[in-house]
Amino acid sequence: MADITEGHSEAIVLIRSMKSLREILETATAFEKSARDFYSELIPKVSKDMRNLVKELAEEEQEHFELFAELLSHSDIEAELGKRVQVPLADFQFSGYVHLPELGEFPDDREILQYAIGREDAAMKQYRELADETEPGEIHDLFEFLAIEESKHKLELEITYDELFQNGAS
């Protein structure tokens, strides 16, 4: 990090572009919770073709939510949670996905998949950048693991999308 003096305009920009790990984990927890709730509420509304996929997505988001909740409850990492890290460039997109779209009573499969792909992409980028910004240890490993998980989810969703909509179906 460059040597920036206190009160300098670059110092203010740098400070504003950083968050504590606790803040980042709390945002990520809210992100995963909103995803879990979103997919859980969709299960009875989606077509039979999509039902198992949406159920799997809800279960995966629940697992991620539990990982963050457990990590936030560890008293042995309290000092780590106060550390400040650079907010990823993808933070705005990631935070935007905490707010869920209104898909109506009978949501369109294509719209659901497009939203889910975008959400997984935002999460993958966010977790990748956070892994790159954190020091080796439990928090770094968590972000690394989640970046890989989200990239797998995104790929699975893209394959499903292609199978349903790019190969002449629907």
Query: Residues 76-104: pLDDT tens digits?
Result: 777 777 777 766 655 555 555 555 567 77
Nearest to 80 by CA among 14, 23, 17, 32: 23
**What is the pLDDT, as a whole number, of residue 3?**
45
Reported residue count of the chain is 170
**What is the pLDDT, as a whole number, of residue 118?**
86
**What is the pLDDT, as a whole number, of residue 63?**
93
CA 163 → CA 120, 123, 156, 157, distances in Å?
A: 18, 23, 11, 10
- Whether 10 is covered by a domain: the verdict is no
32 or 104, which is more confident?
A: 32
- Whether 11 is covered by a domain: the verdict is no
pTM: 0.73
- Whether 124 is covered by a domain: the verdict is yes
- Whether 143 is covered by a domain: the verdict is yes
Query: Degrees (nearest 5) of the Cα angle 134, 84, 130?
Result: 35
Q: Kindly report which listed range (63-72, 104-113, 144-153) carries the lowest average pLDDT score.
A: 104-113
- Whether 1 is covered by a domain: the verdict is no
**What is the pLDDT, as a whole number, of residue 96?**
55
Structure tokens at 121: 């992409």
**What is the pLDDT, as a whole number, of residue 4?**
40
Q: What average pLDDT does the segment 7-17 reach?
A: 43
- Whether 95 is covered by a domain: the verdict is yes
User: Which domain CATH number covers 99?
Assistant: 1.20.1260.10
Q: Residue 11 pLDDT > 50, yes or no?
A: no
- Whether 5 is covered by a domain: the verdict is no
Q: Residue 123 pLDDT > 80, yes or no?
A: yes
Return mean pLDDT, the chain: 77
Backbone angles phi, psi at 20, to 5 degrees: -75, 155
| Total domain count, the chain | 1
Please name the residues in contact with 22: beta carbons below 8 A apart, sequence gap of 6 or more: 72, 81, 82
Residue 111 belongs to domain spanning = 19-166
**What is the pLDDT, as a whole number, of residue 16?**
47
- Whether 9 is covered by a domain: the verdict is no
